Amino acid sequence: MTRRAEYAETTRRAIVAAARTLFSEKGYFATKVDEIAATARVAPATVYAVTGGKQGLLRTLVDEWSDAPVVAEARAEIAKLDDAEELLSFLAALTRSMRQDYGDIMRLVIAAAPHDATAAEGLATGTARYRDGTLLAAQRLADLGALRDGLTVEEALDILWFYFGYAGFFTLVDDNGWSYPKAEEWLRDAARRALLAEAASE
C-alpha cells in the first residue's frame, strides 16, 4: 500500500470511528456531518467524498458488523463441530462477543430503521446475513441428529433466533441488568432444553 493509500485509509477509518461514536451517543438523526468531520478532524466535504455522508457511513457500519471476518470464521467452525452441546456453547459465546463488539451498531440501526430507508435497508441486509449464519447452526444440529423428534430445520432456526437473535442479550443485559456471562449461560441452557433430543429426557 502506498503512503497516499495508507493516509486515505487512515482518514476513512477515523471518519467511520467518529460516526460510530456519535451515532451511538446522540442517535443517527441527531448527529450532523459537521460533527462527524470535527471529531475526525477532517473537512465536512471529506466526509461526503470518502464515505458518502451519513447514509454511506451507516452502510459501512452495517457491513462492519454483519460481514466482519469473525462471521466467516464462525461459519467454518460451525461446519466442523460434531457435538451439539459444543455447537450451542460456541453459538452462545459468539453471540455474546458480537453483541459486545457490535451491539451499538445493531441498536442504532434497529432504532433508525422505522424512520429511514437506508437504515431499513441496512437492517434487512444485516438480519439476512445474521439469520443465514444461524441457519447453518440449525442445519448442523439436524445433520448431527441432535434435534428433538419432529423438529424441522426451519423450526430450529426460529428457536435459535429467539434465543440468539437481537432480543436475547439486549433484554437480559440492557433491560434486566444481567452480566454478559450470566446471559450467555442462561441462553445456552435454554436453547439446549428447547432444541436437543437428549434434553427431553432430563
CATH number at residue 7: 1.10.10.60
What are the cell numbers at 21?
Answer: 461514536
Domain membership of residue 28 as a residue range: 3-51
89 within domain boundaries? yes
| pLDDT of 4 | 85
Percent share of the chain, pLDDT over 90: 91
Number of domains in the chain: 2
For the stretch 82-129, pLDDT in tens is: 999 999 999 999 999 999 999 999 999 999 999 999 999 999 999 999
First-to-last alpha carbon distance for the chain, in angstroms, is 58
Nearest Cα residue to 62 out of 8, 129, 137, 155: 129
- Whole-structure pTM value: 0.90
Q: Tell me, what's the pLDDT at 121?
A: 96
Q: With respect to residue 59, please indicate whether it lies within any of the assigned structural domains.
A: no
Q: Do 170 and 115 belong together in one domain?
A: yes
Residues 79 and 46 in one domain: no
Do 46 and 143 lie in one domain? The reply is no
Same domain as 108, residue 46: no
Distance, CA of 61 to CA of 165 (rounded, Å): 18
Query: Residue 18: inside a domain, yes or no?
Result: yes
Domain identity same for 104 and 44: no
pLDDT-based confidence at 3, cuts 50/70/90?
confident
Residues 189, 133 share a domain: yes
